[in-house]
Structure formats: C-alpha cells, structure tokens
Amino acid sequence: MDNLPIVIGVVVVVAVLAYFLFFRKKALPEPAPKTPESAPTPAPKAEAPAPKKPEVSAPAAPTPSVEETPPPAAAAAEESVPEIVAPSAEPPPVVSKKDVAGLRKGLAATRGGFMARLKAIFTGKKEIDPAILEQLEEVMLTSDVGVKTTQAILERLRDRMNKSELADTDAVWAALRAEAARILSVPVPTEKRSSKPLVVLMVGVNGVGKTTTIGKLATKWNADGKNVMLAAGDTFRAAAVQQLEVWGKRVGAEVVKGKEGADPGAVAFEATKKSVEGKADILLVDTAGRLHTKVNLMDEIKKVKKTIGKALDGAPHETLLVIDATTGQNALTQAALFKEALELTGLVLTKLDGTAKGGVVLGVCDELKVPVRYIGLGERAEDLREFVAADFVEALFGKDDDEAAAA
C-alpha cells in the first residue's frame, strides 16, 4: 500500500507517454497536407509555361498523386521543357509507315465510296459473273480512276480470265489489288536527295494545298531535327506570305520574303543563297497558284526553277506537284501540263480525306509515272503522310479491323 503513490505515478507517466507517442503521431497527417500548401511557390511557376507544359506533364502525371510529388518533378520537367517542347508544340508530325489503321481512318470516305462499291461487286459471290468487268469499269470510271487506267486494268484482268488464271471472285479481287500495287509503285528518284541544303520547290494550281503542305513538311522535318527555311515565292498575295509566316513561327523556321508584287524568282534566289549561307538542311519554296499578271503561270514557275539553279547548282532537288484529290479528272489534266513543263520528282495528293472517289491516285500515277510522295488526309500538321504504296493498298483493299477479327 505504501507503494500506491509510486504505482499511480508510474501509470500516469506511462499514460502521458502513450498519449504523446500515439495521438501525436496520428496528428502528423495534418502537417503532411500542409506540405503541398507550403510549397505552392513552385506551383504557379509550373503553370507559367502553360502552353508548353501539357505535353511533358501529361505523360509524366498519369496518376492523381500529382499533388504530392510534383513540386520537384514539375520543377524539373519545367527546366527541361523549353528545348524539348518548342519543336513538338505542334501535334506529333512523324508518321509511322506501318500505321495502316490510321491511314484507313483518313481514307474512310474513299473506303466508304469507291472501295465499298468495288467490294459490293464481289460480296456473296464465289463464281465469276460474266458481267463483272463491266461492273468494275462502271465503278472505276465514276471514282476518278480515269479512262486510260481503267481500260488498262480491265485489259489485264480480261487477259488473265481468258487464260483461266482467275478461278473465282477471290482471285479477281486479289488480281485487282495486285494491279493497284503495281500502278502505285513508281520508283522515287533518289540521286539528289542527300543534298544540303535540300531545296524543294512546291508547285500546283491555286488552292490545292501547296502552302499547307509546306507547313506540314516543315513541321515534320523540324521535329526530325532538321534546320528548315521557307521561301515565300507567292508574292502576289500578301495573305500568302502571312500564311507561310504563321507556319514559320509555329515551326521556328526563318521565312525569306520579298515585297508584295516582287519577282518570285528574286525571292527564291535570295532564299536559296540564304539557305546555303545559313547552313539550312532544307529550303521549302512556296509558289503562286494563280498570277495576277499576263505572264503564264507555267513560264513563271519555270523561271523560278531556273533562278534557284543559278543560286545553287543542281537545285531545286525536288519539284513536288501538289494535286487536290477532290478535283478528280481536272487533277489529271493539270498534272499532265505541269509534268510537261517541269521535271517533277514527286506528287503530293491533298484532301484525300474529302473525297469518296480516291481512284484519282491510281489514274495520276499510271498516266504520269511520277511517284506519289505524300498524301494529305486533313488540315493539321500530322495529317500529311508519307506515301507507301503497300500500306496504301492495304488500307484500301484490306479488311477492317472488325472484319479481320471476325474472320
């Protein structure tokens, strides 16, 4: 009993200790949430470069725990952002050659039109209907394949059918697909492509998408680490120069321009010289699609081309003709005229997203024997795709993912 005060004392001490150890510990979470509050100083900083940040922080912050760890992470990301993000501020420009699914999506209109009509001829039939060639002819002609190419394809199919090489409709479909692949596989001239600077002259009638294609290519090549320069060779419209400047700013590419109404040849000459002096990797030269003078457009472009050659031997290394796929047979006629006047190294077919008759690709390749190099499937930078014949044929003739899965 004499020990009672001691016992009570010990109990009290233990109780006090327990209180401090247990309850105080539990109270710790309070300071924890305060940590982010006490660290908001870097937070506003992280918001400051808002336009650049999303690209970096998006993949870095997939979990909602952003609040806890990010102050240092965000700060670190922020430091490294400017260099990485500046070029990729535009949507991802580089196109995977194997991205058939994306290509298929971009070609949805043609798949739903031209290709769906072709398929309908074959669907549910194993035996070859004697009228099959007429049916194919009708679809091809109304899908901008063009008379010459349509007849050539049909001739080859007829020949093979007469030789009994095509046993059923599956074989005819495969033969048609092989024809498309053969026509689209035009060899690309490669001899000048390693030049530095590589001078690319973009030509075509008005509104086909020359300036937009230049912007898209500049975005792609800039993202590939190339030093790109632009020449505003369309000196007839102030708006044309401005349009190019918008792309130039976006990409961070210098735009060489002249005064309104200046001689486009002079601008192209100066730009070519500058691209050599400035050690640019690529110079993209825009041209007018329509002239407000009596000078013939083709003569003017020929002059521009010659002037570029005077500034740099062997340039331009590429002369790309831009064609609007929605203009059908007109596109074919224009292309033939340009080919006659200029030595074309490639074609760019734009607005394929806007036509259900993508057959023009076949016609233009077959008649001109100039390779399609790029196709435009929309207005955004990433909508320009490098043309790969095999992928294109697969995207058109291949089964949908759903169909393939069901098969």
Ligand X SMILES: Nc1nc2c(ncn2[C@@H]2O[C@H](COP(=O)(O)OP(=O)(O)OP(=O)(O)O)[C@@H](O)[C@H]2O)c(=O)[nH]1
Give the residues lining the site for Mg ion (CB under 5 A). Answer: 210-211, 240
Sequence letter at residue 203: V
Min separation Cβ 286 and ligand X, Å = 7
Min separation Cβ 84 and Mg ion, Å = 31
Q: Out of ligand X, Mg ion, none, which partner does residue 212 contact, by CB within 5 to 8 A per kind?
A: ligand X
Min separation Cβ 244 and ligand X, Å = 9
Q: Out of Mg ion, ligand X, none, which partner does residue 307 contact, by CB within 5 to 8 A per kind?
A: none
State which residue has the least CB distance to Mg ion. Answer: 211
Q: Out of ligand X, Mg ion, none, which partner does residue 206 contact, by CB within 5 to 8 A per kind?
A: ligand X
Min separation Cβ 204 and ligand X, Å = 6
Q: 140 or 283, CB closer to Mg ion?
A: 283
Q: 53 or 111, CB closer to ligand X?
A: 111
Q: Out of Mg ion, ligand X, none, which partner does residue 370 contact, by CB within 5 to 8 A per kind?
A: none
Min separation Cβ 207 and ligand X, Å = 5
Q: Out of Mg ion, ligand X, none, which partner does residue 376 contact, by CB within 5 to 8 A per kind?
A: ligand X
Min separation Cβ 395 and Mg ion, Å = 28
State which residue has the least CB distance to ligand X. Answer: 376
Output 256-261 pairs: Cβ under 8 A, ≥24 positions apart.
256/229, 256/230, 256/231, 256/232, 257/231, 257/232, 258/232, 259/235, 260/235, 260/236, 261/235, 261/236
CA 224 to mean position of chain CA atoms: 13
Q: 52 or 210, CB closer to Mg ion?
A: 210
Contact partners, residue 277, CB within 8 Å, separation at least 6: none
Q: Out of Mg ion, ligand X, none, which partner does residue 99 contact, by CB within 5 to 8 A per kind?
A: none
Min separation Cβ 291 and ligand X, Å = 10
Min separation Cβ 234 and Mg ion, Å = 5
Q: 140 or 284, CB closer to ligand X?
A: 284
Q: Out of ligand X, Mg ion, none, which partner does residue 209 contact, by CB within 5 to 8 A per kind?
A: ligand X
Contact partners, residue 13, CB within 8 Å, separation at least 6: none
Q: Out of ligand X, Mg ion, none, which partner does residue 353 contact, by CB within 5 to 8 A per kind?
A: ligand X
Q: 234 or 391, CB closer to ligand X?
A: 234
Min separation Cβ 394 and ligand X, Å = 20
Q: 33 or 112, CB closer to ligand X?
A: 112
Q: 293 or 329, CB closer to Mg ion?
A: 293
Q: Out of ligand X, Mg ion, none, which partner does residue 208 contact, by CB within 5 to 8 A per kind?
A: ligand X
Q: 81 or 381, CB closer to ligand X?
A: 381
Return residues touching ligand X (CB under 6 A): 204, 206-212, 234, 240, 288-289, 350-351, 353-354, 376-379, 383
Q: 69 or 333, CB closer to ligand X?
A: 333
Can you tell me the distance from the alpha carbon of 387 to that of 184, in angstroms, rounded to the nearest whole number? 10
